[in-house]
Each structure stands twice: as structure tokens, then as C-alpha cells.
Amino acid sequence: MIHFLQQTDSTNNRLLEYIADRQKRGEQIDNLTTFYTDFQTAGRGQQGNTWESEAGKNLLFSTLIITNIAAEKQFRITELVSLAIAQVIKQLLSETAPEHANAVKIKWPNDIYIYDKKVCGILIENQLLGSSVNASIVGVGLNVNQLVFQSSAPNPASLRFFAKQQLEIFPILNNILNGFGRLLPLLEQPLALHQKYMAMLYRRNEMFQYIERECSTKPTNIVCQNQTQEKQTFLARIVNVDNFGRLILQDQTGTLRTYHFKQIQFVI
């Protein structure tokens, strides 16, 4: 079921309210229930970041994905969501700007890039029931037709930059939701899902520069507290993403380094 809102603070908030109301009344909630809007006043990204979007220009939506998988396997949800969106964008560009289609990549863990430009951000809020994830709220901001970005974000772009034409927003949403549904069985086929995710991973198997944050010498789940120290840049290549979603790099000495989200920065 798809619900449209002309404007809202956050589609994630509206979807969470809808779920709570249905649960209170003992009513069934359909998988892939979705709220989308023309404009968000308080759209959120990872780690509390905001998401800039010009009214009516982009695709802003939140979707419920009913999963019921063990909590330690929750990175599969990230793989599924980012892969589905990347595949839809790649197909769209293959029809409108085929020279750019193969440049669509997933930047670990779940941003969607075209070349070195970010076109899509994803925020996944997993709901735990005991030791399992019983559902996920997937918030997506996909830049579709916006041409001018005012925020300090370093590298935003939209699909229109590459397609060179105005794009219809609702068909893209519909294709993404179909993609979620199509890939859902892969949650029980982790090897196949992981291989597809890795095949579209940004900067895989080539040497690039990275900045290691001070607290990531011994990777933990803590958020880096001190970002004022001198940043250390090094060359490495991505060799894998493990089952817990940690990025594994191999540096020039052959040493493997493992990082949690926000413990490593791509130099772009």
C-alpha cells in the first residue's frame, strides 16, 4: 500500500505512526507499506545528518520491510535495500544514458553513487523482537530532478545530471518497491545476495586513499569522539565486507584492516 503526503516532517515518522496505530487496533500491516512525499521538513540521514531536497524534485519515501531474521544477520537487509535501488537506477540509465549505466555503484555501506557523485542516501531502522529483526523501516532520499544543491554536502548529484532529461518520479518508486519484493527471497540466500552486493560495490579491488579516524585503530562499535587530531591518509583496496557489515581493506603492506561505519572515510 502506497500513501502520498504533499509535505511532512519525515516519512519515517509517518510510517512508524501508521504501524503503531494499526498494531494498537490489531490490524494487519502489509509488507512494503510505503509513505512518500514531495517535501520533508526534517528528513534524516545516517548519524543524524540532514538530507537536502528541493520540493517536488526528488523521491523521498519510507517503506516497511517485514524480515524476521536473526539480529546478527541484519546487514543482509542493508545489502538487499541498496542492491535493489542500485539495480533500478542502473536499468533507468541503461535506457536514458547507457554510457553511464555501469557507473552506478553502492558506496559502503549503502549510499548509491554514480561515478564519484552521491545520488541516494538510505537510512534503515531495524526493529528488534527478542534476538530477531522482525521489521525494518527503510527511509530513502533519491535525487531525481534537482539541479542545484545549496547544502555543504561535498558531492551531491541527481539522476537528471546524467540522464539529461526530466524524469517521472512515481515510476521510479514503483520499480524500487518491486525490486525490494523481488530480492526478498535472497535474505535466505546470503551468499548469492552478498555476491551481488559486492559486484556493485564502489571502489572495489582498486587502490584508493582513505582516512582512518583516530578511534578506529582497534575497531569497535563506539562513535568517534575526537575528530580534531591530524587525519592519517593511507592507500588501500576494498577486499570484502564481512557478515556484520564491517569494511575490510588491504593496505600497501598487505595488512588487512577492519572498520565499522564512520571509522573510515573515503577520500573523494
Query: Quick one: 212 and 195 in the same domain?
Result: no
CATH classification of the domain holding 239: 2.30.30
What are the E-state strand segments in 2-116? 2-5, 34-37, 59-70, 104-107, 111-114
Cα(52)–Cα(219) distance, rounded to whole angstroms?
31
H or E segment and range at residue 175: helix 169-183
Query: Quick one: 106 and 80 in the same domain?
Result: yes
For the cut 50, the answer to whether the pLDDT of residue 127 exceeds it is yes
Q: Please, which residues have CB within 8 angstroms of residue 33's CB and are 6 or more apart in sequence?
A: 1, 3, 15, 18, 19, 63, 64
Query: Quick one: 139 and 54 in the same domain?
Result: yes
Q: What is the pLDDT of residue 175?
A: 98
| pLDDT tens digits, one per residue of 28-69 | 999 999 999 999 887 655 444 555 678 889 999 999 999 989
Contact between 38 and 7 (Cβ < 8 Å): yes
Cα 194 to chain centroid, rounded: 15
For the cut 90, the answer to whether the pLDDT of residue 138 exceeds it is yes
Query: Quick one: 257 and 134 in the same domain?
Result: no
Query: Quick one: 188 and 259 in the same domain?
Result: no
Q: Which residue has the higher pLDDT, 180 or 228?
A: 180
Q: In the listed set 199, 220, 238, which residue is the last one of a domain according to the structure?
A: 199
Please count the structural domains in the chain: 2
Cα(138)–Cα(125) distance, rounded to whole angstroms?
6
Cα(22)–Cα(230) distance, rounded to whole angstroms?
51
CATH classification of the domain holding 179: 3.30.930.10
Q: What is the pLDDT of residue 230?
A: 55
Query: Quick one: 128 and 169 in the same domain?
Result: yes
| Amino acid identity at 34 | T
Grid coordinates given for 254: 598487505
Contact between 75 and 243 (Cβ < 8 Å): yes
Query: Quick one: 23 and 97 in the same domain?
Result: yes
For the cut 50, the answer to whether the pLDDT of residue 180 exceeds it is yes
Overall size of the chain counted in residues: 268
Q: What is the pLDDT of residue 217?
A: 44
Residue 202, number of CB atoms within 10 A of its CB: 21
For the cut 80, the answer to whether the pLDDT of residue 97 exceeds it is yes
Sign of dihedral through CA atoms 182, 188, 190, 191? negative
Query: Quick one: 119 and 19 in the same domain?
Result: yes
Model confidence at 205, pLDDT cuts 50, 70, 90, reads confident
Q: In the listed set 168, 199, 230, which residue is the last one of a domain according to the structure?
A: 199
| Amino acid identity at 171 | P
For the cut 60, the answer to whether the pLDDT of residue 200 exceeds it is yes
Query: Quick one: 106 and 185 in the same domain?
Result: yes
Residue in 139, 81, 82, 73 with CA at minimum distance from that of residue 107: 82
- Domain, as residue range, for 247: 208-266
Query: Quick one: 37 and 162 in the same domain?
Result: yes
| Amino acid identity at 230 | E
Q: Please, which residues have CB within 8 angstroms of residue 212's CB and are 6 or more apart in sequence?
A: 231, 232, 234, 257, 259, 263, 264, 265
Cα(79)–Cα(81) distance, rounded to whole angstroms?
6
Query: Quick one: 78 and 95 in the same domain?
Result: yes
Query: Quick one: 129 and 245 in the same domain?
Result: no
Cα(79)–Cα(122) distance, rounded to whole angstroms?
11
120 strand-pairing partners? 112, 142
Grid coordinates given for 244: 556484520
